Amino acid sequence: MTKAKQTTGPKPGQKAGSNSMWGGRFASGPAAIMAEINASIGFDKRLFAQDIAGSKAHAAMLAAQGIISKADAVAISKGLDTVKAEIAAGDFSFSTALEDIHMNVESRLKEVIGEPAGRLHTARSRNDQVATDMRLYVRDVVDALDAALTDLMRALAEKADAHHATIMPGFTHLQVAQPITFGHHCLAYVEMLSRDRGRLRDARARLNESPLGAAALAGTPYPIDRKATAKALGFAGPMRNSLDAVSARDYVLEVLAACAICSVTLSRMAEEIVLWTTAQFRFVKLSDKFTTGSSIMPQKRNPDAAELVRAKPGRILGAFMALAVVMKGLPLAYSKDMQEDKEPAFDAFDAVALAVAAMAGMVRDMEPNAEAMRAAAMTGYSTATDLADWLVRSLRMPFREAHHVTGRIVALAEKKAVRLDELSLADLQSVESRISREVFKVLSVEASVASRTSFGGTAPRNVKKAAVEWLKQLKDR
């Protein structure tokens, strides 16, 4: 983030034991422990870019409405640019005594431009200011996650395209069920991630309203133009109720919920990578870029990146729960409790962003072991359903009867310790006399996947078509 310094004492020119931002109501400053629990600058300093953007839009609007002079607005805008550059460069000293990012920026602005800085806070409150900052920040988070998820989906679609005909076992209950293709498996996650991305986009549309101008809770008597500030900040429009504008945090909850669901998708992918890289599976290999070694066992190659992604849902869902508990009993409008919305949310947003990036890296890095996957697909009598379907199609047998006959054939193969396609015709006819040699055409794993041509099925031509369609959709998005 920024290398900016943080201090605990008063700013230059500020009397120790007093707090200038509270005006004349308080004769002395807070107790040390009060200052510690009250200050948020330690974490809300990451909102500096959003805070300054909101202040510039507000100042420009005040000047356009004749509430402050154009000269003051120009000075404020230039001064805010200076402050932003200082923070970005790590040359800014944050003060705990000034509590939050808003007062730290305003205090420094006064040092830079003098008296005009005092006019910036006209017709607004820290209540609508922080609500605006947080909406801008969460919107930026969603946009960044949207781009990252698109990149991950593209990586999976590329893998699917390259391996549209690579056979692997499909599982239910983690038992070999039916043959599928590796590309089909990759595209399943593309579909899941597209819904995760869709939830974030839906949340963005709902949060994209501006609280600025709601002031403390009741609006303001100044002739402000809230539509102008909303437009300047890229919002769809101003929020329609000033109480709601300063007290709503449901948009943070909604994005956290979407992130939590997304993290579950990522965790499921990560678990499969952990399984697939084991000596027991050997389905894929990760390079040194995404594995670690052991301090005692020189042979180990541990999929630590996948394991860490697998662990992320706990802290992300925890952030959602933490904020839900904070908000559940708060009366309208603003309460200081809402300061607790930031740390868990920031942590969760960072965690999901890191997990998405790590997963995209692993997907591009992993090399499928086609031979091992095909061998696994041939175990567990995975073409038993194909045999049952052949009995239905060729012998006009009711499916339930075909299921029963196939079960008896599987039991015979199991007794002989052979695959279904290794049984002799006589073996098959000992269970069902009408079975012909034609049945062997459906018992290979290649024949099985090729036959699954229904929409959404695993047939290689289906997978190839779907992968190409996804890559076209994801291009430059």
Fill in the amino acid letter for 186: C
Cis omega (within 30 of 0) on the bond before 333? yes
Give the H or E element holding residue 14: none
User: Which backbone phi and psi does 241 adopt, to 5 degrees?
Assistant: -135, 125
Cβ(206)–Cβ(142) under 8 Å?
A: no
Q: Which of 28, 173, 295, 454 is catalytic?
A: 173
Q: Is the alpha carbon torsion for 324, 325, 331, 337 positive or negative? A: negative
Q: From the candidates 18, 93, 287, 294, give the one annotated as an active-site residue.
A: 294
* Structural tokens at position 235: 């919002």
Distance CA 172, CA 178 (A): 9
* 452-460 contacts at long range (C-beta below 8 A, 24 or more positions apart): 452/180, 458/170, 458/179, 458/180, 458/181, 458/184, 460/164, 460/165, 460/181, 460/183
460 vs 441: CA distance, rounded Å: 17
> Any catalytic annotation for residue 163?
no
CA 62 to chain centroid, in Å, comes to: 37
Is 173 marked active-site?
Answer: yes
Distances, alpha carbon 133 to alpha carbons 52, 119, 141, 325, in Å: 9, 19, 12, 22
CB-neighbour burial class of residue 430 (10 A; exposed 0-12, middle 13-18, buried 19+)? middle
Q: Do residues 212 and 54 make contact, with C-beta atoms less than 8 angstroms apart? A: yes
Active-site amino acid positions: 173, 294
